[in-house]
Structure 1
Amino acid sequence: MVHAVEQSRIEHSQVEVNGVRLHIAEQGQGPLVLLLHGFPESWYSWRHQFAPLAAAGYRVVAPDQRGYARSGRPTAVDAYTLPHLVGDVVGLIRALGAEQAVVVGHDWGAPVAWISAMLRPDVVRAVAGLSVPPRLPAGLVRLELSRRLYGDGFYQNYFQQPGVADAELARDLPSTFRRTLFFGSGDNPDQPAPWLIGEGQTLLDSIPEPKELPGWLTEQDIAAFAEDYAQHGEHAFTGPLNWYRNIDRNEELLAAFEGLGISVPALYVAGDRDLVSALHGVDRLVAALPGIAPKLFRSVILPGCGHWTQQERPAEVNAELLAFLDHLDG
C-alpha cells in the first residue's frame, strides 16, 4: 500500500462532467476545496494535503483532470482548451453539490485555477496558485515567442510533435516519473533552468535518471503515479500533452477577456529553485501580482524548494493554505 495510514480515509469515485468521466479523490466534510494537479501528475500529487485540510474542517477533492491518469480522455486535440478546463472546474463544483469552492492549482493546474477565478468569481470564492503565477487571460506565452526565446528544444515546443513525446514518456512509466520529478526538484543541482532538449536528444535523454531519489519522494510514490497512468498504455500521456497543443488556441479563445484581473482573495506559493522562475518574464508576473489580484493574501517564496511545491515542502504549503482558508472564513 502507498502511504497506507495517510491515505486510509481518502475515498475514490467517478463523476461525469461535461461529457467526460473524471476520477476524484476526496476526504473530509465542510466547505469545498478543489485541488488541481499539473503535468505529469495526478490526484496523488496532493497526498500530503488531504488529511490536514480535512482535519481543519474542509471537504478536499482532487480530480485527475481531463486526459490525465484515471480520468477520461477525449480524442480530439482541441478538447483540451482552457475554456474546456475551466468548464470542468465549474461543472465539478456543481456535480459535487456545492455552489462555490476555493480552487488551488499547481503547475498546469495553476493557470486553470487563476483563469477559473478570473472568469467565474461567482463560483471560485478564492484561489491559490502554486509555482505558476497568473498570466492573464490565457496562462502561457505563444509558441513562437517560446521558440524565439529558447529554441525548438524548449519542452513546450518539443511537445507539439504528434506522437513523439507521447511515446517517449509512455515507454517506461516508473523511469519517466523518476526522471521528471527529480529534474524539476530543488534537489537537482542544475535547477532553476528551463527544460531544453538538445539537438539529437530524445526528451528523456535531456533528464537523466537520478542515482537516488530525494528524501521527499519514495519508490512507492513513483509506483503510485505509474499505476495511475498504466491503464492507457502507449497513449498514457497523449491527453496531458494535448494541453500544451492548445497554447496558441487558448490565446485566441480568451482574447476577449484581456484586461480582466482576479477579483477574489488569492494566494501564491513557489520555490526559489523552481524551473518556472527561470522562464522569461516570470519575475515580472510575480512582482505584478498585487495589481492583478488586489485581494492578494500573501505571495510566498520557499527557499530551497523546486517545482513540485506541495510535495517537496508539504508542511510549509499546508501552513500557508490553512492560514489562507482561516483568513477567508474569518
Structure 2
Amino acid sequence: MEGIEHRTVEVNGIKMHIAEKGKEGPVVLFLHGFPELWYSWRHQIAALGSLGYRAVAPDLRGYGDTDAPGSVNSYTGFHIVGDLVALIDLLGVEQVFLVAHDWGAIIGWYFCMFRPERIKAYVCLSVPLLHRNPKIKTVDAMRAAYGDDYYICRFQEPGKMEAQMAEVGTAYVLKNILTTRKTGPPILPKGEYGTGFNPDTPDTLPSWLTEADLAYFVSKFEKTGFTGGLNYYRNLNLNWELMAPWRGAKVYVPVKFITGELDMVYTSLNMKEYIHGGGFKEDVPNLEEVIVQKGVAHFNNQEAAEEISNHIYEFIKKF
C-alpha cells in the first residue's frame, strides 16, 4: 500500500475517510460496494496513482472510518451523491473520472443522472443501469421475481440480518461473501445456518485475497457492524419513490461496463438480455464498451485487479 495516504474530511455534514495516491493530474474517484471499503480498490489506487492520475477512494457513508448516521433513511442515493459532490468540491476540481463497483455502481448511475457535468467518463463494474419500473417498487419487484428468500428481501428488516451475521461472526460473513462463485440471484434460505450466500465457503482463500486483506476488512467491520451497508438496501423502495422525476431519463456520460461471466448480477434474471440485447445501450447512448471477463466472479476489481486497472486506464486516457 506504498504511497497511499489517508485523511478525514468533512462533507455534507459527516466526517469521511479517504485514501488517495497522486497529487497531480485528473482525479479518478473510486466507489466501493457491499460489504467492502476503500481497500477494495487498493490495486487500482496504486496503479492509477502511478500513471499520473490522482486516485481517491472514500469509505462511503456507513462504512469503515466514515461516519454512519443512525437513521435508516439517511442512506438514500441523494445522501450518498451529496457526500460525493461535496468531496469533489473539496478536492478542488470540476470533474472526475468515476469508477464504481456493486452498490458503488448504483450510486454511480444516480450520480450520472443528477450531476452529469461533474463526470468526465464512468467505468462501471458489475451493476448496469437498473431500469425503474414505474408500476412496482424495486424490492416488491425483486420479491415477485425471486421470492422472500432473495438476499435483498432478507436484508430489509432492520436488525434481523445483523443478528444472523453476528451469530456466525464477522470473519465468516466476509469470507463467505467475498469468495462466492455461486452464479444467479443470491437466495438465502431462512433458518439455514450461516448467511447462505455461499454454502461452499472454501477453507483456503483464493490467490487474490490474502489473509492480511481479509483481516483488514474484518477489523473494520468488527468495529462498525454491517448496518451502514445494509441500510443502502433498506432504501431501495424509498429511492424508487424519489427517482420518479427521472423516469425514462437516459445517461449521456461516456461509459465502459465490465463484469465477470460468473458475476451473480450478470447471471440473474434477464440481465444478459438487457446488457447485450440493446436495452442497456438505449438507456446509456454513450455506452462505448461492454467487457465480460472469462472465469471471473462478482468482486472483479480484486480478483482480476491488474486487468481492471488496465481497462480503466485504456478508457480514461482517451478523454
Sort the TM-score into its range (normalised by shorter chain). over 0.9
Paired residues in the alignment total 312
User: In structure 2, what is the equivalent of residue 274 of structure 1?
Assistant: 263
Distance 1:130 1:74 in 2: 27
Alignment of 1:218-229 (within 5 A): 218-229=210-221
Alignment of 1:114-193 (within 5 A): 114-136=109-131, 142-170=138-166, 172-183=169-180, 188=181, 191-193=182-184
Post-superposition offset of 1:205: 4.4
Bigger mean CA deviation after superposition, 207-216 or 52-61: 207-216
Question: What does the per-residue CA deviation read over 1:203-246, in whole Å, with 9 as the maximum and x for residues that have no partner?
Answer: 524534322111111111100111222322xxx11111010001
Gaps of 5+ in 1: 1-6
Match of 2:302 among 295, 311, 323: 311
Matched-pair contact (CA < 8 Å) for 1:197–1:203 = no
Answer yes or no: is the 8 Å Cα contact 2:95–2:118 preserved in 1: yes
Contact 1:136 1:261 in 2 (8 A): no
Q: TM-score, normalised by structure 1?
A: 0.90
Whether contact under 8 Å (2:177, 2:197) holds in the other structure is no
How much has 1:289 moved relative to structure 2? 2.6
Matching residue of 1:325:
316
CA distance in 2 between counterparts of 1:305 and 1:294 reads 27
Deviation for aligned residue 1:277: 1.4
Change in Cα spacing, 1:252 to 1:205, as seen in structure 2 (3 Å) is closer
| Residue type of the alignment partner of 1:26 | E
* Contiguous gaps of at least 5 residues in structure 2: none
TM-score normalised per structure 2: 0.93
- Is it true that 1:97 corresponds to 2:92 in the alignment? yes
Give 3-state SS (helix, strand or coil) of 1:298's partner: strand
Is residue 269–residue 300 contact of structure 1 (8 Å, CA) maintained in 2? yes
1:52-97 CA-to-partner distances (Å, cap 9, x unmatched) read 1112111000000000111100111110001111111211111111
Aligned to 1:3: none
- Aligned match for 2:206, one of 202, 214, 227: 214
| Partner residue of 1:290 out of 273, 281, 293 | 281
Q: Which moved more, 1:290-299 or 1:144-153?
A: 290-299
The residue correspondences of 1:42-57 to structure 2 (distance < 5 A) are 42-57=37-52
Secondary structure in 2 matching 1:95: helix
Q: Aligned letter for 1:56?
A: L
CA distance in 2, matches of 1:223, 1:170: 17
Partner of 2:21: 27
Give secondary structure in 2 for the equivalent of 1:275: coil
What residue identity is the alignment partner of 1:51?
A: A
SS at match of 1:285: helix
- Among 101, 119, 123, the residue aligned to 1:106: 101
- With 101-110 and 143-152 compared, the bigger mean Cα shift is at 143-152
Deviations 1:159-200 (A, max 9, x none): 0122111133345222221111111xxxx3xx3122111132
Q: SS at the partner of 1:48?
A: helix
In 2, distance between residues paired with 1:141 and 1:202?
A: 30
Q: 1:81 to 1:306 in 2, by over 3 A?
A: same
Which piece of structure 1 moves more, 281-290 or 78-87? 281-290
Post-superposition CA distance 1:112-134 (Å, at most 9, x none): 11220122111112111100011
Equivalent residue for 1:8, pick from 2, 7, 15: 2
Distance in 1, matches of 2:103 and 2:244, equals 19
> What do you get for the CA RMSD once the two structures are aligned?
1.7
**Shift in alpha-carbon separation, 1:193–1:141, aligned structure 2, 3 A:** farther
**What amino acid is the match of 2:111?**
S
Q: Distance in 2 between matches of 1:137 and 1:18?
A: 27
Equivalent residue letter for 1:182: T
Q: Residue 299 of structure 1: SS of its match in structure 2?
A: strand
Give yes or no for contact 2:187–2:196 (8 Å, CA) kept in 1.
Answer: no
Cα distance in 2 for partners of 1:87, 1:271 equals 30
4+ long deviations beyond 3 Å: none
SS at match of 2:251: coil
